[in-house]
Amino acid sequence: MSLGDPIPRRDGPLKVAGRATYAADQHPQGIAYAAPVLSTIASGEVLSIDTRPAMQRAGVLTVLTPDNMPALGQLTDLKGGTLGEPRLPLSDRLVEYDGQLVGLVVAESLELANEAAALVQIVYAPGTPRSEIERSSDRFRPKDFYGIAELQTQRGDVDEALSASPFRLQHSYETSVEHHNPMEPHATTALWEGDRLIVYDSTQGVISTRNVLAHFFGLPAGNVRVICPYVGGGFGSKGYVWPRTILAAAAAKATGRPVKLALSRQATFSNNGHRGRTIQTVSLGADQLGRLIAIRHHTLTQTSLAGVHVEPSGIATGMLYACDNVAVSHEVARVTTGSPTAMRAPGEASGVYALECAMDELAEAIGMDPLELRRRNHAVSDPETGKPFSSKHLLACYERGAQAFGWSRRDPRPRSMTANGMLIGWGMASATYPANMRPSSARVEAEPDGRFVVTAATQDLGTGAYTILAQIAAAALGVPVEKVRCELGDSALPEATLSGGSSTSASVGSAVHEAALKLRTQLSAGGAPMAEAHHEPGELEKQYSAHSFGAHFVEVAVDPELAVIRVRRVVSAMDVGRILNHRTAQSQIRGGVVWGIGMALMERTGFDPATGRLVTRNLADYLVPVNPDVPEIQVILIDEPDPHFGPIGARGMGEIGITGLPAVIANAVWHATGVRVRRLPIVIESILHQL
Amino acid sequence: MTPPDLSRRDLIYLTASGGLLGLGAPGSNAEAESQQAQARPEKRSVELTVNGERREFQIAPSVTLLDALREHLELTGTKKGCDHGQCGSCTVLVGGRRVLACLILAISEHQGEPIETIEGLARDDGVHPLQAAFVAHDALQCGYCTPGQIMSAIGLLREGRPADDDAIREGMAGNICRCGAYEGIVAAIRSISAGGVE
Res B122: pLDDT: 84
Cβ separation of B127 and A16 shorter than 8 Å? yes
pLDDT in tens, A604-629: 999 999 999 999 999 999 999 999 99
Task: Judge whether B184 is closer than 8 Å to chain A, CB to CB.
Answer: yes
Res A81: pLDDT: 86
User: Which H, E and C letters describe A243-284, residue by residue?
Assistant: HHHHHHHHHHHHHCCCEEEECCHHHHCCCCCCECCEEEEEEE
Tell me the percentage of chain A whose pLDDT exceeds 70.
100
Give residue A14's region: left, alpha or beta (phi > 0; psi -120 to 50): alpha
Architecture per CATH, domain A438-536, reads as 2-Layer Sandwich (3.30)
Q: Which domains does chain B have, with CATH numbers?
A: 8-118 (3.10.20.30), 129-193 (1.10.150.120)
Res B5: pLDDT: 43
Cβ separation of A18 and B28 shorter than 8 Å? no
Average pLDDT over residues A533-539: 95
CA A455 to chain centre: 25
CA A177 to chain centre: 14
Cβ separation of B34 and A19 shorter than 8 Å? no
Ranges under pLDDT 50 in chain B: 1-39, 198
pLDDT in tens, A26-71: 999 999 999 999 999 999 999 999 999 999 999 999 999 999 999 9
- Residue A442 amino acid letter: A
Q: Round the average pLDDT of chain A to a whole number and report it.
A: 97
Average pLDDT over residues A112-128: 97
Give residue B138's region: left, alpha or beta (phi > 0; psi -120 to 50): left
CA dist B62 and A67 (Å) reads 31
CA dist A190 and A247 (Å) reads 9
Contacts of A568 (CB under 8 A, 6+ apart): A424, A555, A556, A557, A631
Whether the per-residue pLDDT at A139 is higher than 70: the answer is: yes
CA A107 to chain centre: 34
Measure the N-to-C terminal CA separation of chain B; round to a whole number of Å: 30
Contacts of A112 in chain B (CB under 8 A): 60
User: Could you tell me which residues are beta bridge partners of residue A389?
Assistant: A545
Task: Judge whether B194 is closer than 8 Å to chain A, CB to CB.
Answer: no
Please give the radius of gyration of chain B, using alpha carbons only, rounded to the nearest integer: 18
pLDDT in tens, A464-523: 999 999 999 999 999 999 999 999 999 999 999 999 999 999 999 999 999 999 999 999
Cβ separation of A626 and B176 shorter than 8 Å? yes
For the beta carbon of residue A536, count every other beta carbon within 10 angstroms. 14
Burial B42-64 (b: 16+ CB within 10 A, else e): eebebebebbeeebeeebbbbbb
Average pLDDT over residues A161-173: 98
Question: Distance, in angstroms, between B49 CA and closest chain A CA?
Answer: 19
Which of A299, A305, A313, A301 shows the shortest CA–CA distance to A276?
A301
Do the Cβ atoms of A281 and A298 come closer than 8 Å? yes
CA dist B50 and A119 (Å) reads 34
Res B196: pLDDT: 54
**Which candidate from B34, B70, B142 shows the least CB-CB separation from A231?**
B142
**Count of all residues that appear for chain A in the document:** 691
Res B26: pLDDT: 40
CATH of A144-178+274-435+543-690, one of 3.40.640.10, 3.30.365.10, 2.70.180.20, 3.30.450.20: 3.30.365.10
Fold topology of A23-128+183-233+238-268? Aldehyde Oxidoreductase; domain 4 (3.30.365)
Question: Distance, in angstroms, between A150 CA and closest chain B CA?
Answer: 31
CA dist B172 and A661 (Å) reads 24
pLDDT in tens, A340-352: 999 999 999 999 9
Average pLDDT over residues A127-143: 96
User: Could you tell me which residues are beta bridge partners of residue A298?
Assistant: A281, A329
Cβ separation of A8 and B33 shorter than 8 Å? no
The ipTM assigned to this model is 0.97
DSSP state of A339: P
pLDDT in tens, A61-82: 999 999 999 999 888 878 788 9
Kindly identify which residue of chain A lies nearest to residue B64, measuring between CA atoms.
A111
For the beta carbon of residue A605, count every other beta carbon within 10 angstroms. 21
User: Could you tell me which residues are beta bridge partners of residue B100?
Assistant: B91
Q: For residue A318, which phi and psi values (nearest 5 degrees)? A: -75, -10
Question: Distance, in angstroms, between B188 CA and closest chain A CA?
Answer: 12
Tell me the percentage of chain A whose pLDDT exceeds 90.
98
CA dist A585 and A635 (Å) reads 9
Do the Cβ atoms of B100 and B82 come closer than 8 Å? no
User: Could you tell me which residues are beta bridge partners of residue A650?
Assistant: A577
- Bond from prior residue into A609 cis (ω within 30 degrees of 0): no
Average pLDDT over residues A651-661: 97
Q: Please indicate whether residue A655 is annotated as part of the active site.
A: yes
Q: For residue A387, which phi and psi values (nearest 5 degrees)? A: -75, 155
Question: Domain ranges in chain A?
Answer: 23-128+183-233+238-268, 144-178+274-435+543-690, 438-536
| DSSP-assigned letters across all residues of A342-395 | --SSTTHHHHHHHHHHHHHHHHHHHT--HHHHHHHTB-SB-TTT-PBBS---HH
Which of A317, A334, A308 shows the shortest CA–CA distance to A130?
A334
| Residues 126-145 in B contacting A (C-alpha not used; CB under 8 Å) | 127, 131-132, 134-136, 138, 140-145
Give residue A55's region: left, alpha or beta (phi > 0; psi -120 to 50): alpha
Contacts of A482 (CB under 8 A, 6+ apart): none
- Torsion sign across C-alpha atoms B130, B132, B138, B141: positive
Question: Distance, in angstroms, between B45 CA and closest chain A CA?
Answer: 16
